[in-house]
Amino acid sequence: MITLTAKTNDILHLEKGISLIKDYFPARLSQRLSLTKVSAPLFVQSGTGFNDDLNGVEKPVKFNLKNIPYPVEIVQSLAKWKRMRLYQLGLEPEQGIVTDMRAIRPDEVVSPVHSFYVDQWDWEKRILPEHRRISYLKDTVAQIYQAVLDTNAMLEEAHEKTLDLPSSVYFIDSETLLQRYPGLTPKERENRIAKEYGAVFIMGIGGLLSDQAVHDDRAPDYDDWSTANEEGFNGLNGDLILWNPVMNSALELSSMGIRVDAGSLREQLSLKDCGHRSELLFHSNVLNEVYPLSMGGGIGQSRLCMFLLQRKHISDVQSGIWPEGQL
C-alpha cells in the first residue's frame, strides 16, 4: 500500500492545477482567435530556413536520421513553420492554427523563468493587408489577455487561490518606454511598467531606439519590427508582460507580432546583414509572396502555469534539468 505524505499531496494538487490550465486555456484561446489545433514537428530539415533562429546566435540540436540523406534539427520555435502550414492548409483570412510546441534550446541561459526545454502554445493566423496595423495587433493582444482572465476565473471556480489581475492590458511603445525611464536598462523598464499597470504590452521590439540600442533582440525573418506604424513608431510586434507578485518581478508571457511581408523581410535581412538567407526556401517563398500574410506568437505553457498557480520557479511546473545550484 502507498501512503501519501503531505508533500506528495501538495505535488498532486499542483499537477491537477497544471492540468486544468493546459486543458482550459488553449480552448479559450482557440475560441477567441478562431484557431484550429494541429500537430507540430519536433524536428525539421536543416538548411531550409524553417527553424527559428531566435536572436540569430543560438545553435539548434542537429542530428541525422537513419536512411534520411540530410541532417535535421530540433525546433527552437515554430515561428516560420506555422506560416508554411497556413499556406498548405489553405485557411481563410482571420482563421489560424495552434499547436502544442515542444522545443529544446541548448544555448538558453537558464533562470527561474527559463529552461532548456520549451513548451508553448504556438499560434498563427492568416491576415489581410489592411490588418497589418497596430490597432489590429492591439485587438488580438486584448483577446489573448482575456483568455488569461478567463482561465484565472476558472481556477477560482475550482477553488484554487487566484490572482487579482487588471481588467485590461496597458499598451506602450518601446521608444516611449525608454523616454519615460531613460536611466534604466530594458529589463528594469519592464519591471517598472509592469509593476505599475499589472499587464502591459510593449510594442516595437527589435529595432533601434533613440539611444542606438534595441529593447530586445529579434531575428529578422518572422516579426515585422521595422515597418512604421500608424502611431508614428517602428514595429508591428511586441511582448505581453505581466507583473508576478510572487517573484516581485515582470514575467514575459508571450512574444508575438504581425509577420514580415516581402518588403519588411528584405529590409530586415539587410539591417541584420543576413541577405544570404533570401535564398533559403522559407525566405524565398515570403519574398515571392507565396505564403500568406500572417500574425502569430508563442504563449509559454509552463510560464502561464507558474504565474497563475503562483510558483517561484519554472521547475515547480515542469520536469527538466538545471545547472547545479539553480534550484
pLDDT tens string 113-163:
999 898 999 999 999 999 999 999 999 999 999 999 999 999 999 888 889
Residues 135, 72: contact at Cβ < 8 Å? no
**Residue 55: its pLDDT value, please?**
60
**Alpha-carbon dihedral of residues 9, 10, 13, 19, nearest 10 degrees?**
-120
Span 102-118, average pLDDT: 87
User: Which range has the worst mean pLDDT, 4-8, 60-64, 65-69, 90-94?
Assistant: 4-8
Q: Does the structure show a pLDDT above 60 at 3?
A: no
What is the per-residue burial (b if ≥16 Cβ within 10 Å, else e) of 285-294?
Answer: bbbeeebbbb
Does residue 120 have an active-site annotation? yes
Residues 85, 123: contact at Cβ < 8 Å? no
Grid coordinates belonging to 209? 531606439
Q: Is the dihedral of CA 244, 169, 26, 49 positive or negative?
A: negative
pLDDT digits (tens, 9 = 90+) for 153-204: 999 998 888 899 999 999 999 999 999 999 999 999 999 999 999 999 999 9
Which of 69 and 56 is assigned the larger pLDDT?
69
Angle between helices 6-33 and 134-157 (to 10 degrees): 140
Confidence of residue 9 (pLDDT cuts 50, 70, 90): low
Does residue 239 have an active-site annotation? yes
Does residue 289 have an active-site annotation? no
Q: Which fold has domain 10-162+251-316?
A: BirA Bifunctional Protein; domain 2 (3.30.930)
User: Which range has the worst mean pLDDT, 47-61, 111-125, 165-179, 211-225?
Assistant: 47-61
**Residue 92: its pLDDT value, please?**
96
Grid coordinates belonging to 120? 508553448
Does residue 174 have an active-site annotation? no
The residue from 30, 76, 120, 268 that is catalytic is 120
Closest CA to 89 of 39, 47, 147: 39
Domain limits, the chain: 10-162+251-316
Span 294-317, average pLDDT: 95
247 vs 169: CA distance, rounded Å:
20
The residue from 77, 174, 255, 264 that is catalytic is 255
Please tell me the pTM assigned to this model. Answer: 0.92
